[in-house]
Chain A
Amino acid sequence: MSSAVAAPSGRPAFLRLRSHPLKIALVGNPNVGKSVVFGRLTGRYATVSNYPGTTVTITTGRALIGAEVCDVIDTPGVNALEGVLSEDERITKRLLSTGGAELIVQVADARNLRRALMLTSQLADTGLPMILVLNMVDEANARGITIDAEGLSAHLGIPVVEAVAPEGRGVAELREALPAATPVAGARPAGVSHIDWASSMTAEFRRVNVVSAGRLRETINRAVREPLTGLPILALVLYATYLFVGVFGAQTLVGALENHVFNGLINPAATTAAGLIPLPLIRDFLVGNYGLITMGLTYAMAIVLPVVTTFFLMFGFLEDSGYIPRLAIFSDRLFRSMGLNGKAVLPMVLGLGCDTMATMTTRILGTPKERLIAITLLALGVPCSAQLATIMGILGGISVWALLLLFGVVLSQMILVGFLAARALPGDRSDFILELPPIRLPRMRNLVTKTALRVRWYLGEAVPLFLVGTALLFVLDRIGALDLLTGAARPVVTGALGLPSESAGVFVMGFLRRDYGAAGLFKMAHDGSLTAVQSVVALTVMTLFVPCVANLLMIVRERGARTGMAILAAVTVIAIGTGTILNFALTTLRITF
């Protein structure tokens, strides 16, 4: 059956017999609040973030508009639909041109009318019925901006709704206005460019009383941006992160969960309960050495979950406040030496929480070459929360220098690999052009919701793989393959890396799950089986080692199996090579910590 039966005036067929729900697309510039509008319409929350590319996939939801059930589609933020387009823009354009939407709701930032109207003009070219939502009118008014919404509506011939979506204002008006959506009647005349039309429209319908945008905000903005104050602030932020994630999360929360809840209650209970099972194989599978409950679940819930949650909370705060894009300014030079640009700071920092999620986020980078380099560097050197927890737990107890040495070595490897890859691979990197969203105090409710969503994603995606990894280890151990692999790895581990032979098993585990390996090392360090030097070497190799299963699968999904294998091989070689050199250097120079 054909798509919407449009009334002669071009209106979509509301309240008519339809074969499918009406498809409404939310389109707009990045950071305008599309996802909040989406949430208000559908009751579902799509992650709200401050930088482009976060709505990486197209999210759909059902909304009840009056008596009509509609499909609402949240698109990634776009700045243009013509000319040189990013991947997000291409996806959105394809959606609009292939009948993926029958009605467009353009969400605009009232403070950036001209930019919004440039997009309006391009959207008008699609001929689809439209509504324009001017969001964040409160912040616009605070800046002295007033928009003649009625006049604009009359000129364009489409409904224009003013809104403050995070507070729910304007949503009811939007719902009422939807049946009145029609194709734009007052579009640009032939021969006039989108830009010129948008400029003249803005001049006609917008008044600006120049008001200084909050003295405090300006000062904070400048302080964060300028190197003299910015670098100390960065150090402070890192320290605060260390306190919150590294101390509170990795030590306090993990300690409580691991010792009291799991080792104190759950594991003994499980072991007793498993004692009732007649088959020793099943018993061991659940609560044995590589037991699903004693190892897999304990690890995922007691060790990784608290660290991941505290990390996402911290990261979300830094995101929403607008800090992270400003980090990009500082790191641009550094990233350019790696064949990337400042924008890469976003996935890289996110990788400290979860590399798999960060690999997804590399989509925001401009060129395929940059995305490949970023994915490789993430797989190589960026330790995820799980690893960070163990690294800080072990090395933090030794000395600050040990910690710094590890990070120094890992960072230098990343720069080296990035540099070489940038030379060796064909293609260019994109220019560093980044919009800086305004500095604002994050709204607690948004922050909590966003973190909860991320944690839920993590529980759904990563934890099952934890359990699969454990099960795999169990199987390998039972069939003797684990011992075989350990035997094969031993010469490398004891010879080149100078580590005790028991750690060979840990590395084989680390091959399957990098963070498991780190946890195994944690135990060894606690038992006193590792010297300080050995701890540093072992952890450095483990950090540089292969990505976890979840990350590897994501890499394959993004770049294909061949690339995945190539990255795997390269990373293994680099990890062992670096460990060997590090071991040699430390022992020869007789460095102790």
Chain B
Amino acid sequence: MTPGSRGRVSRITRDLTGRAERLAALGVTPGAPIRVLQTFPGIVFECDQTEVAVERTVARAILIERD
């Protein structure tokens, strides 16, 4: 993932932490358009009108299909 890349969320790995649900509640769900804004020091992306900051381990759970 590099800053400026666009794509659609293809999948969110589910695990026991509940992060998939939290992401979904913010609108980060499969099919949503996503644009990566920044990767250092933290990961920031824009997903369907919502700007979100996450830590690396969470970002790894979001799989994107590039445009």
Contacts and interface: CB of A to CB of B under 8 A. Distances in A.
Contact of B22 (A79, A118, A436): A79
A458 interface: no
B55 A112 contact: no
Contacts of A460: none
A477 B24 CA distance: 60
A118 B25 contact: yes
Given A115-B27, A341-B55, A433 B42 contact: no
Contact of A79 (B26, B40, B42, B51): B26
B20 to A, nearest CB: 9
Contacts of A330: 41-42
Contacts of A114: 27, 32, 48
A62 interface: no
Interface in B16-64: 17-19, 21-27, 29, 31-32, 37-38, 40-42, 44, 48-55, 57-58
Contacts of A227: 40-41
B12 to A, nearest CB: 11
Contacts of B23: 433
Contacts of A226: 38
A225 B55 contact: no
B67 to A, nearest CB: 14
Majority secondary structure of chain A interface residues (helix, strand, loop or mixed) = helix
Interface in A83-113: 83-84, 111-112
Contact of B42 (A84, A195, A342): A342
A47 B21 CA distance: 28
B54 A432 contact: yes
Given A225-B37, A330-B41, A433 B48 contact: no
A147 interface: no
B21 A432 contact: no
A433 B53 CA distance: 6
A436 B27 contact: no
A263 interface: no
A143 interface: yes
A587 B47 CA distance: 56
Given A431-B58, A436-B44, A342 B53 contact: yes
Given A195-B29, A225-B37, A435 B58 contact: no
Nearest to B46: A436
A239 B16 CA distance: 43
Contact of A329 (B22, B31, B41, B49): B41
Contacts of B31: 199
Contacts of B27: 112, 114-115, 118
B53 A432 contact: yes
A115 B22 CA distance: 12
A138 interface: no
A332 B50 contact: no
A418 to B, nearest CB: 17
A145 B50 CA distance: 14
Interface in A160-192: none
Contacts of A433: 19, 22-23, 26, 52-55, 58
A434 B50 contact: no
A118 B29 CA distance: 11
B42 A83 contact: no
A112 B40 CA distance: 26
A45 B9 CA distance: 39
Contact of A434 (B32, B37, B53, B57): B53
B45 to A, nearest CB: 10
Nearest to A329: B42
Contacts of A84: 18, 21-22
A557 interface: no
Contact of A112 (B21, B44, B49): B49
Nearest to A116: B27
A213 to B, nearest CB: 9
A118 B25 CA distance: 8
Contact of B51 (A83, A328, A438): A438
A526 interface: no
A115 B50 contact: yes
B22 A431 contact: yes
B26 A225 contact: no
A118 B23 CA distance: 13
B44 A225 contact: yes
Contacts of A222: 37-38
Interface in A60-80: 79-80
A112 B48 CA distance: 8
A83 to B, nearest CB: 4
Nearest to A341: B55
A139 to B, nearest CB: 10
B53 A328 contact: yes
B55 A332 contact: yes
Given A434-B52, A436-B52, A329 B44 contact: yes
A436 B51 contact: yes
Contact of A431 (B26, B40, B55): B55
A83 B55 CA distance: 22
What 10 A-B pairs are tightest by C-beta distance, nearest first?
Answer: A79-B25, A84-B18, A432-B55, A436-B51, A329-B42, A80-B25, A83-B21, A115-B27, A84-B21, A434-B53
29 contacts: A80-B25, A83-B21, A84-B18, A114-B48, A115-B26, A115-B27, A195-B29, A221-B51, A225-B37, A227-B41, A329-B41, A330-B41, A332-B41, A332-B42, A332-B55, A342-B55, A431-B17, A431-B19, A431-B22, A431-B58, A432-B54, A432-B58, A433-B52, A433-B53, A433-B55, A433-B58, A435-B26, A435-B50, A436-B44
Given A145-B49, A342-B53, 5 more contacts: A80-B24, A84-B18, A326-B53, A431-B22, A435-B50
